Structure 1
Amino acid sequence: MLRRATEHDVDTIRRLRNQQANRDASVTSHEISADEHAAWWTKASADPARRVLIYERGGTTAGVVNFFDIEGSTAAWGFFLDADGLAARGETLPAWIEVMRDATSYAFDDLGLDLLTGEVLEHNTVVRQMNRRFRFTEGTPQTRYADGREITVIPISLRKQDRRHQRTS
């Protein structure tokens, strides 16, 4: 389940984003300070072209989904999960599938998008494989420098007509 993030979620969002697994999969890999996070939240929560959502699983916060640069029928997105908590409960894979299904449904059904974009680090082969499962296509890799390291980022995109639909029983 996805719901809008509130002030009450700010510390949890930062804690999850700072988990090592999430830092390893992000363009910015440094630990986010309280001041840096507060500044981000102030800007993000007031931005009409952004939605910060909390992914809940079994009544527990299990991740964060960000939609940004929402303009007309396009937007970019990214997400991270409670890697530590989900792994401890043995729920990582089902949560990952669920959040991607819920997020793409939100993008196309609630936001009314025709095109959803994002990016993934080249070395993150597991995420790239899951993206393909959800029918995202990859663009031309780009080299960037972030947090003192060279990284290769691959743009991804999914068109509404190409998305996977939920199976009905």
Structure 2
Amino acid sequence: MLRPATDDDLDAMHAWRNQPPNREVSINSHEITPGEHAAWWSRTRTDPSRQVLIYERDGVPSGVVNFFDLSAAGPGRTGSWGFFLDTAGLGERGETLPAWLEVMREAADHAFDTLGLDELTGEVLADNVVVRQMNRRFRFVEGEPESREADGRTITVIPISLKRENRRRRQPQ
């Protein structure tokens, strides 16, 4: 289940984002300071082009889905997204893979059915082979790789996109 993030979620979001497995696959891989996190939340929570949701698995807060660059209503509506999970908590419960599949499914449903997007975009590090495979499973298409400097390192970033008509739909049970 996805629900809007609130001020009460700030500490958990900050802790999850700084977990090493999440930092290792992020464009900005440095440890986020409490001040950086508070400034981000202050800008984000009132920005109409953004939406931050908490992913709950069996009633337990377990991750963050971040939608941004949401375009205004109308044809060709687009937005970008990213997510990260509580890798430590889900790992302890043996729920990492099912949670990963579920959050991706729920985020795509939210993007297209709730936000009304026609296209969902994002980015993935080129060396993050597992995420790239999962993205393909969900029918995201990769664009041309791009080299970038981030946190004092050169990284290769691949843009991804998923159009509404190409999305994988849940099968009726």
TM-score normalised by the shorter chain: which range applies?
over 0.9
C-alpha separation between the residues in 1 aligned to 2:116 and 2:133? 26
The normalised TM-score by structure 2 is: 0.97
C-alpha separation between the residues in 1 aligned to 2:4 and 2:58? 17
Partner in structure 2 of residue 93 of structure 1: 97
SS of equivalent residue, structure 1 residue 116: strand
- The Cα offsets for residues 131-154 of structure 1, whole Å up to 9 and x where unpaired, read as 000000000000000001100000
Matched to 1:141, the amino acid is P
1:20-31 alignment to 2 at 5 Å?
20-31=20-31
Root mean square deviation of aligned Cα: 0.5
1:52-71 alignment to 2 at 5 Å?
52-71=52-71
Task: Compute the displacement of 1:76 (Å).
Answer: 0.3
Partner in structure 1 of residue 169 of structure 2: 165
Find out whether 1:152 has 2:131 as its counterpart.
Answer: no
Q: Which runs of 5+ in 2 are unaligned?
A: none
Partner in structure 1 of residue 78 of structure 2: 74
Detail structure 1 runs of 4+ shifted over 4 Å in the superposition: none
The normalised TM-score by structure 1 is: 0.99
Partner in structure 2 of residue 7 of structure 1: 7
Identity between Structure 1 and Structure 2 (%): 62
C-alpha separation between the residues in 2 aligned to 1:158 and 1:87? 28
- The Cα offsets for residues 26-83 of structure 1, whole Å up to 9 and x where unpaired, read as 0000000000000000000010000000000011111000000000310000000011
Matched to 1:65, the amino acid is V
Number of aligned residues = 169
Q: Which runs of 5+ in 1 are unaligned?
A: none
C-alpha separation between the residues in 1 aligned to 2:153 and 2:119? 30
Partner in structure 2 of residue 44 of structure 1: 44
C-alpha separation between the residues in 1 aligned to 2:93 and 2:6? 25
